[in-house]
Amino acid sequence: MGAFGGLALAAASGWNTFLPLLLIALGDRVAGDFLNRPYTAISSLAGILTILTLLTIEIVVDKIPRADLVNDILGSALRPAAAALCCMALASTDDSLHPVLALSAGLLIGGAMHWWRSGWRRIVEVESRGIGTPLVSMVEDAMCALTAIAGLLYGPAGLATAVLGWLIIRWSYGWGRRFGARRETA
């Protein structure tokens, strides 16, 4: 895991705030306490239940056109913060990255992914008349999960999956934009 895993989960957090946090928490529970203090709070029962509740809300709201805008506004603060937390938590497992550098890298990567995603999601929503929004959101969720799992299993593979995920999500935005337009003319 370490720094590479943390960077991969930071990228994934830019697409979905709480899914990478949930996977870290479950990984810590299943694999046996790899998180160091103070990050162990993520995998506590209260931490997991809180993350599950927030993840459910985020997944549902993100599929609803126009409501996803509210999700993105809240995500402007939450996604980079979650990315920083993921990066710091995993980098602390082997002290591969100083906490301040992990915080900075997580904020930068998670923030960049979020802002890129948010900009494109508005375009998809308008051009597809909202029809492409849930489809694109599902692709983002799938790539987030794959990137986070790969990052937890083997950090460099997580980074490769993040790049692949970015390309697939980018393709889905183009497809999502055209989906509604084709549907309307048919």
CA distance 170 to 162: 12
Global pTM?
A: 0.88
Does some domain include residue 183?
no
Burial letters 21-59, b for 16+ CB under 10 A, else e: bbbbbbbbeeeeebbeeebeebbeeebbebbeebbeebb
Per DSSP, the three-state class of 154 is coil
pLDDT score of 180: 66
**Does a structural domain hold residue 62?**
yes
Whether 21 contacts 54, CB under 8 Å: no
Q: How many domains is the chain partitioned into structurally?
A: 1
Residue 82 lies in a domain: yes
**Where in the sequence is the domain holding 59, given as residue range(s)?**
2-177
The verdict on residue 161 lying in a domain is yes
In a domain, 182, yes or no: no
Whether 73 maps to a domain, the answer reads: yes
Angle at 107 between CA 162 and CA 160, to 5 degrees: 15
In a domain, 186, yes or no: no
Q: What is the pLDDT of residue 183?
A: 47
Tell me the mean pLDDT per 10 residues along the chain, length 186.
Answer: 89 95 92 81 93 96 90 92 93 86 94 93 88 91 96 92 94 84 53
Query: Is residue 185 included in any domain, yes or no?
Result: no
